[in-house]
Amino acid sequence: MPKYLILRFSSIGDIVLTTPVIRCLKQQVSGAEVHFLTRKSFESVVSNNPYIDKLWLFENSATEIAEQLKNEHYDGIIDLHHNARTQMLKWTLRRPSFSFRKLNLEKWLSVNLKINRLPDLHIVDRYLETVASLGVKNDGKGLDYFINKTDRNTQQRLPASHREKFIAVAIGAQHATKRLPEEKLIRICNRLKYPVILLGGKSDVETGANIARACGSNVLSLCGQLSLNESAAVIESAEVLLTHDTGLMHIGAALRRPVVSVWGNTIPAFGMTPYYGTDKVDHTIFEVGGLSCRPCTKIGFAKCPKGHFKCMMDQDEKSIAECVMLFSENN
């Protein structure tokens, strides 16, 4: 029975994007035993995934469990992170390995010289290229995200006013240049006709409270109050998800929800847009075109390096709200 170890150490969205590899490897390679290694802080992203036979976790460095991994005698290591840390682990384990194309040069050219050499290929397809030599093919089923029964009951704890026909708005993102300013989020939420639930982490609590206060009872902020999987359960019940380019965007796609995504300093051409496989689900991307400074980074900044933040300040609030309402009414 072949045994494989998949490596992806972070972050939420990137791990969700590996799920087609996990599923296809398990289902298409006869008798495959699939192990997955990630940071302990991201355990909840894959802890309910039935295609993972064994989940390995580490706190600070994968070398903490290297000896245990050696004892597994893997037939192959599938590196879907491909950085110095995974290189060191692969060298330590000394097993056959397969690494995905990270496109660092192409991204550097795009960010620094605004030269586009990026392939027209989603990162899911690049991940799947990594295991093509094992006979694994894209099954077209999109991303996976599994929620247990306890977390799925989160909806029952919501106020009656926000249990049915509501819109989820993920207001957070790890970097400020990927987030709409608070005042724009307020104006967008005020245009939405259905109840709105704001989702975000502890760092979004103040912003969520400010938006809810400004918009009144139609907007409920749950920022900082839910676990990741509880937030996923809320998204699963929503009519539509309005989000930035962040982990909850990919969870929304995995749960087959219509997604309206708003992009700031990052660009869809990096290949990490909402991914549905062959499923036909409403989704739209909003980005400000014609900016010579964009993308300014492949990740994000604490503030706009140019000072004008046009990639978010020039977003069309009316069009975004209208699109969210259209998807809500079509769903």
Same domain, 232 and 93: no
Same domain, 28 and 167: no
Q: Is a pLDDT exceeding 90 seen at residue 196?
A: yes
Q: Structure tokens of 124? A: 């899911």
Same domain, 78 and 159: no
Same domain, 169 and 69: no
Are the C-beta atoms of 144 and 51 separated by less than 8 Å?
Answer: yes
Closest-CA residue to 10 (of 247, 200, 250, 197): 247
Mean pLDDT of the chain: 97
For the segment 255-275, the average pLDDT, to the nearest whole number, is: 98
Same domain, 194 and 125: no
Closest-CA residue to 218 (of 245, 241, 188, 251): 188
Q: Is a pLDDT exceeding 90 seen at residue 157?
A: no
Q: What is the rounded distance in angstroms from the CA atom of residue 22 to the CA atom of residue 33? A: 10
Q: Exposed/middle/buried for 182, CB within 10 Å: 0-12, 13-18, 19+?
A: middle
Q: What is the rounded distance in angstroms from the CA atom of residue 41 to the CA atom of residue 57? A: 9
Q: Is a pLDDT exceeding 90 seen at residue 156?
A: no
| End-of-domain residue from the set 85, 103, 134 | 134
Distance in Å from the first CA to the final CA of the chain = 44
Are the C-beta atoms of 19 and 42 separated by less than 8 Å?
Answer: no
> Is 304 within a domain?
yes
How much is the pLDDT for 279? 96
Q: What is the number of structural domains in the chain?
A: 2
> Is 163 within a domain?
yes
Query: Would you say how long the chain is, in residues?
Result: 331
How much is the pLDDT for 197? 98
Same domain, 87 and 168: no
Calculate ∠ Cα 254-145-154, nearest 5°.
Answer: 105
Are the C-beta atoms of 79 and 86 separated by less than 8 Å?
Answer: yes
Radius of gyration of the chain (CA): 20
Q: What is the rounded distance in angstroms from the CA atom of residue 190 to the CA atom of residue 262? A: 17
> Is 174 within a domain?
yes
Same domain, 31 and 165: no
Containing 29, the helix (H) or strand (E) segment is: none
The upper half-sphere exposure of residue 252, i.e. CA atoms within 13 Å in the direction of its Cβ, equals 29
Same domain, 167 and 65: no
Same domain, 168 and 261: yes
Same domain, 269 and 230: yes
- Give me the helix-helix angle, 228-237 and 247-254, nearest 10°: 50
> Is 284 within a domain?
yes
Are the C-beta atoms of 234 and 168 separated by less than 8 Å?
Answer: yes
The 10s digit of each residue's pLDDT in 162-174 is 999 999 999 999 9
> Is 149 within a domain?
no
The 10s digit of each residue's pLDDT in 75-102 is 999 999 999 999 999 999 999 999 999 9
| End-of-domain residue from the set 74, 104, 134 | 134
Same domain, 179 and 88: no
Same domain, 82 and 214: no
The 10s digit of each residue's pLDDT in 119-147 is 999 999 999 999 999 999 999 999 999 99
> Is 147 within a domain?
no
| End-of-domain residue from the set 106, 134, 162 | 134
In 147-228, at which residue ranges do the beta strands (DSSP E only) sit? Answer: 167-170, 196-199, 219-221
For the segment 61-67, the average pLDDT, to the nearest whole number, is: 95
Residue 277 — very low, low, confident or very high, per pLDDT cuts 50/70/90?
Answer: very high
Q: Containing domain of residue 168, as a range?
A: 154-330
For the segment 196-224, the average pLDDT, to the nearest whole number, is: 98
> Is 239 within a domain?
yes
> Is 317 within a domain?
yes
How much is the pLDDT for 155? 85
Closest-CA residue to 12 (of 208, 227, 177): 227
Task: Output the domain CATH number for residue 203.
Answer: 3.40.50.2000
The 10s digit of each residue's pLDDT in 291-319 is 999 999 999 999 999 999 999 999 999 99
